[in-house]
Chain A
């Protein structure tokens, strides 16, 4: 009942809002037939809806107004100004009553006879002559009752509204003004950035830096507030949905109840407009295809009335909206059959696909399972367009479904469009910005290490054992190629909202920071490569790349991707059983040495001046972290810049200064131990040349120390609710960062259930190097190597040991 009532209020409100303009226009010209019809429909609907509820006053009022207006429509009387006034008064009172109903206040037993009489009075006067009526209508005396009545009504309702503790004081502002303030603040941010740039160039100036810092803080506060001003409650979108659902379900002969939650979640105004159509489309689909007819539902033992739940949640910088129904669910077989029939996947691929992946095929272009196109959903807009529109604004969509139980669509959308974190890259002398949200990782390496290959026109790189398509940004944009960059490109690994990973080869990273994104001229937008423009802190304008569109243009998304990816999963398994790899380099003593590749985090380049030799050991500051440095010669450095291998054992880090980095190599030859050199693990042959393999154990034992801002060790958890809610706090408290399976690095500790572990082992799947195996039973044979999942002591001991194990 409450839901129905909420629907009624929402609908009446909506109509009141919509007819506001009509009322004014009708008042100006009472003979306007179209306006009259609109207002008649409004009172008629109110009257009809009141029938379901016990609101006699509302029913009487709307009934009287309907009668009067029906007479006008039938030509039995002329709409004069008096009638207009009376009808307006009635409508205003309906609005007041709706307010009271919504606030859960009982409608007082006030009397509406006065208003009803006014409708009738005008009826009688109009019989004596329209002209006279008009005259009397313009008489202020007749206006007075309406306004005083309304005033008294307002008084009755006002205290109750003010008493509402949740009500905030609000004002209405024109959107244009908001935009002006917004862009003013954006300009201020840019001016501040420019100033910051100049101040940096001028060096430290304590008298200026202090106030400047304060300005920065204030500005960022103001910007936050302004960003919030642009926000609108998602209610404004939700408000129209009950009506949509009602209309659709009536049209389709279904009964659907809508349950909405999270209407107070706030979202950028423009974003709300962007998601309006996708959400409407999903709701149409749910009612048309998802929810069954009442008889079918009863037959399956479900409630006759289908439930459509729409919920919005904010988590960090994204909003997730879940639209779920309790209908028949998606038919995996039919989707798969359709996908095979349309050539999206082959039959062989289909058998290898998980249910989830099959279901998500419905977002592929050219896919539509509805056999009969009804006038409700089949409107030529497919779910691919829905996904496209969401991806355009950096969002994503997933679907999950249980046969017979329902379907739910999850949309993730970013909070705002206008200020985003971004990365600035450089190619052929041009700078471009990339939204940070896409950036997974930045890789800098020689093309040999990346196993850069060209398959026809497509370039592939090997990243963490996966073959990933690689786009040359310069080529994409038709810029002249640069020799050096081709040999040693910087790869920005980009993860699209659809989950596709690809590499974008650029010549260098210029910087990162908050970017104020401004729209581009339509002619530029049409090129499809750019999403906006922004100004860097030096005032240079920079274009923001439309990553999703570029990827789509290179056909890196959708069906082609599915195939490449599945192939890659296989090759990943092969890579995992490869021989040990090491980074080959020449140290300052001129020795060719190698260090195991797992230890090498990055190759850094630091100016010689950054090396601090004042302490017992030399140190270097890199990325704000103080790190010990080994491998330096005794004599002063000849070069101005020095290459450093950044080694890490998971907890400690150190830098190894080298004269030259050669390449990553496989350790295929036998390793000969060298007992006389404590820092050498072994000597081996690489391409026929002897190479000393650095003993990392000794190195870290002597020189390793946790960096000042130490990185926490990382850990992956088994899937499932238990791991998320019960295990993860324990693991976090033990000092681990919990990461997703896909982000697991070589030093990541894996916690697995023993059965999962055994299966993986049996199938030869790649397993983390460090594993803690959990079992479900408290008792287990001795030496099983597993830990009972509620054995806290052992679990903590194992976690601590794993940390040390990495560190040792």
Chain B
């Protein structure tokens, strides 16, 4: 992570970092068309040029309960498994470089955060939680299904 470019955003009030390599662009989010019957953490789809982006509400995707968060008018566009997503976050803070490897903290990050976080990373703009994009996009149900599978 040292020297690697990171996009730092605020999700549910916490500083989170995404590898800039994963981030394709940051867009002004336009009209979001909701998807009825889709999981709650999928806010809908939106158009980026001729592409349809799945809009993910990161707060809900982590599995946090519904509450009022400010939402940035910009969204982070990422691609995973051939699909493009727009991530809704509280605010997009900065693009900065990592100053440490991802590490754990004593006591962990809590179950929701642990699922989506690779670890804590020091950046030039302060410490941030390094987000595992795949885990984030799998949604909060993923962990439940795993538990069910084990049980």
B81 interfacial by beta-carbon distance below 8 Å: yes
Q: How far is the CA of A431 from the CA of B38 in the complex (A)?
A: 15
A543 interfacial by beta-carbon distance below 8 Å: yes
Question: Inside 8 A of B33's CB, which chain A residues have their CB?
Answer: 430-431, 540-543
Chain-B contact segment, one of A80-88, A525-533, A591-599, A777-785 = A525-533
Contact assessment for B50 and A530 in the assembled complex, using a CB-CB cutoff below 8 Å: no
Q: How far is the CA of A520 from the CA of B82 in the complex (A)?
A: 10
Question: Inside 8 A of A540's CB, which chain B residues have their CB?
Answer: 31, 33, 47
Q: How far is the CA of A479 from the CA of B35 in the complex (A)?
A: 10
Q: How far is the CA of A540 from the CA of B34 in the complex (A)?
A: 12
B70 interfacial by beta-carbon distance below 8 Å: no
Q: How far is the CA of A479 from the CA of B33 in the complex (A)?
A: 14
Interface size on A, residues (CB 8 A): 28
Question: Inside 8 A of A543's CB, which chain B residues have their CB?
Answer: 33, 35, 45
Chain-B contact segment, one of A184-192, A505-513, A719-727 = A184-192
Contact assessment for A524 and B54 in the assembled complex, using a CB-CB cutoff below 8 Å: yes
Point out the residue from B36, B47, B83 that lies within 8 Å of A479, measured CB to CB: B36
Interface flags, B27-56, vs A, CB<8A=1, else 0: 000010111111100100111011110100
Q: How far is the CA of A665 from the CA of B31 in the complex (A)?
A: 46
Contact assessment for B50 and A523 in the assembled complex, using a CB-CB cutoff below 8 Å: no
Q: How far is the CA of A384 from the CA of B39 in the complex (A)?
A: 28
A156 interfacial by beta-carbon distance below 8 Å: no
Count, A-B residue pairs, CB within 8 A? 69
A521 interfacial by beta-carbon distance below 8 Å: yes
Point out the residue from A191, A523, A527 that lies within 8 Å of B137, measured CB to CB: A523
Contact assessment for B36 and A478 in the assembled complex, using a CB-CB cutoff below 8 Å: yes
Contact assessment for B35 and A524 in the assembled complex, using a CB-CB cutoff below 8 Å: yes
Which residue of chain A is the closest to B31 with respect to CB atoms? A540
With A530-B35, A543-B35 in contact, do A524 and B52 touch (Cβ < 8 Å)? no
A539 interfacial by beta-carbon distance below 8 Å: yes
Contact assessment for A527 and B83 in the assembled complex, using a CB-CB cutoff below 8 Å: no
Using a CB-CB cutoff of 8 Å, which residues 72-97 of chain B contact chain A? 81-83, 85
> What's the minimum C-beta distance from B19 to chain A, rounded to whole angstroms?
20
A744 interfacial by beta-carbon distance below 8 Å: no
Contact assessment for A187 and B35 in the assembled complex, using a CB-CB cutoff below 8 Å: no
Q: How far is the CA of A521 from the CA of B34 in the complex (A)?
A: 14
A522 interfacial by beta-carbon distance below 8 Å: yes
Question: Inside 8 A of A530's CB, which chain B residues have their CB?
Answer: 35
Point out the residue from B38, B82, B138 that lies within 8 Å of A524, measured CB to CB: B38
Question: Inside 8 A of B63's CB, which chain A residues have their CB?
Answer: none
With A539-B47, A541-B47, A543-B45 in contact, do A527 and B54 touch (Cβ < 8 Å)? no
B98 interfacial by beta-carbon distance below 8 Å: no
Contact assessment for B83 and A522 in the assembled complex, using a CB-CB cutoff below 8 Å: yes
Question: Inside 8 A of A524's CB, which chain B residues have their CB?
Answer: 35, 38, 42, 45, 54
Interface size on B, residues (CB 8 A): 24
Which residue of chain B is the closest to A473 with respect to CB atoms? B36
Contact assessment for B54 and A521 in the assembled complex, using a CB-CB cutoff below 8 Å: yes
Which residue of chain B is the closest to A191 with respect to CB atoms? B50
Q: How far is the CA of A535 from the CA of B33 in the complex (A)?
A: 11
Question: Inside 8 A of A520's CB, which chain B residues have their CB?
Answer: 45, 52, 54, 83
Question: Inside 8 A of A431's CB, which chain B residues have their CB?
Answer: 33
Interface flags, A478-494, vs B, CB<8A=1, else 0: 11000000000000000
Contact assessment for B42 and A523 in the assembled complex, using a CB-CB cutoff below 8 Å: yes
Question: Inside 8 A of B39's CB, which chain A residues have their CB?
Answer: 523, 527
With A522-B83, A523-B139, A535-B47 in contact, do A541 and B52 touch (Cβ < 8 Å)? yes
A166 interfacial by beta-carbon distance below 8 Å: no
> What's the minimum C-beta distance from A529 to chain B, rounded to whole angstroms?
5
A518 interfacial by beta-carbon distance below 8 Å: yes
> What's the minimum C-beta distance from B15 to chain A, rounded to whole angstroms?
25
Question: Inside 8 A of A539's CB, which chain B residues have their CB?
Answer: 47
Interface flags, B126-151, vs A, CB<8A=1, else 0: 00000000000111000000000000
> What's the minimum C-beta distance from A471 to chain B, rounded to whole angstroms?
14
Q: How far is the CA of A20 from the CA of B17 in the complex (A)?
A: 45
Question: Inside 8 A of B82's CB, which chain A residues have their CB?
Answer: 519
Which residue of chain A is the closest to B83 with respect to CB atoms? A521
A163 interfacial by beta-carbon distance below 8 Å: no
Which residue of chain B is the closest to A187 with respect to CB atoms? B50
Contact assessment for A518 and B47 in the assembled complex, using a CB-CB cutoff below 8 Å: no
Question: Inside 8 A of A187's CB, which chain B residues have their CB?
Answer: 49-51
With A430-B33, A523-B139, A540-B47 in contact, do A533 and B52 touch (Cβ < 8 Å)? yes
A477 interfacial by beta-carbon distance below 8 Å: yes
Contact assessment for A478 and B37 in the assembled complex, using a CB-CB cutoff below 8 Å: yes
> What's the minimum C-beta distance from A167 to chain B, rounded to whole angstroms?
35
Question: Inside 8 A of B31's CB, which chain A residues have their CB?
Answer: 540
Contact assessment for A186 and B50 in the assembled complex, using a CB-CB cutoff below 8 Å: yes
Question: Inside 8 A of B45's CB, which chain A residues have their CB?
Answer: 520, 524, 533, 541, 543
Using a CB-CB cutoff of 8 Å, which residues 85-129 of chain B contact chain A? 85
Q: How far is the CA of A530 from the CA of B54 in the complex (A)?
A: 13
Which residue of chain B is the closest to A516 with respect to CB atoms? B50
With A190-B50, A191-B50 in contact, do A477 and B85 touch (Cβ < 8 Å)? no
Q: How far is the CA of A530 from the CA of B52 in the complex (A)?
A: 14
Contact assessment for B54 and A523 in the assembled complex, using a CB-CB cutoff below 8 Å: yes
Could you say which of B35, B54, B81, B82 has the most chain A C-beta atoms within 10 Å of its C-beta?
B35
Q: How far is the CA of A3 from the CA of B33 in the complex (A)?
A: 56
Contact assessment for B38 and A527 in the assembled complex, using a CB-CB cutoff below 8 Å: yes
> What's the minimum C-beta distance from A619 to chain B, rounded to whole angstroms?
40
Question: Inside 8 A of A534's CB, which chain B residues have their CB?
Answer: 52
Interface flags, A406-433, vs B, CB<8A=1, else 0: 0000000000000000000000001100
Question: Inside 8 A of B138's CB, which chain A residues have their CB?
Answer: 523
Contact assessment for B37 and A477 in the assembled complex, using a CB-CB cutoff below 8 Å: yes
Question: Inside 8 A of A522's CB, which chain B residues have their CB?
Answer: 81, 83
Question: Inside 8 A of A518's CB, which chain B residues have their CB?
Answer: 51-52
Point out the residue from B46, B83, B85 that lies within 8 Å of A541, measured CB to CB: B46
> What's the minimum C-beta distance from B44 to chain A, rounded to whole angstroms?
8
Question: Inside 8 A of B137's CB, which chain A residues have their CB?
Answer: 521, 523
Question: Inside 8 A of A529's CB, which chain B residues have their CB?
Answer: 36-37
Question: Inside 8 A of B51's CB, which chain A residues have their CB?
Answer: 187, 518
Q: How far is the CA of A321 from the CA of B11 in the complex (A)?
A: 53
* Supplied contacts A520-B52, A523-B139, 12 more A-B pairs, CB within 8 Å: A520-B83, A521-B137, A522-B81, A523-B42, A523-B138, A524-B35, A524-B42, A524-B54, A529-B36, A535-B52, A540-B47, A541-B46
What are the nearest 10 A-B pairs in CB distance?
A477-B36, A187-B50, A521-B54, A190-B50, A533-B52, A541-B52, A541-B45, A521-B83, A541-B47, A527-B37
17 contacts between A and B (CB under 8 A): A430-B34, A431-B33, A477-B36, A477-B37, A516-B50, A518-B52, A521-B42, A522-B83, A523-B138, A524-B35, A533-B45, A535-B52, A539-B47, A540-B31, A540-B47, A541-B47, A542-B33
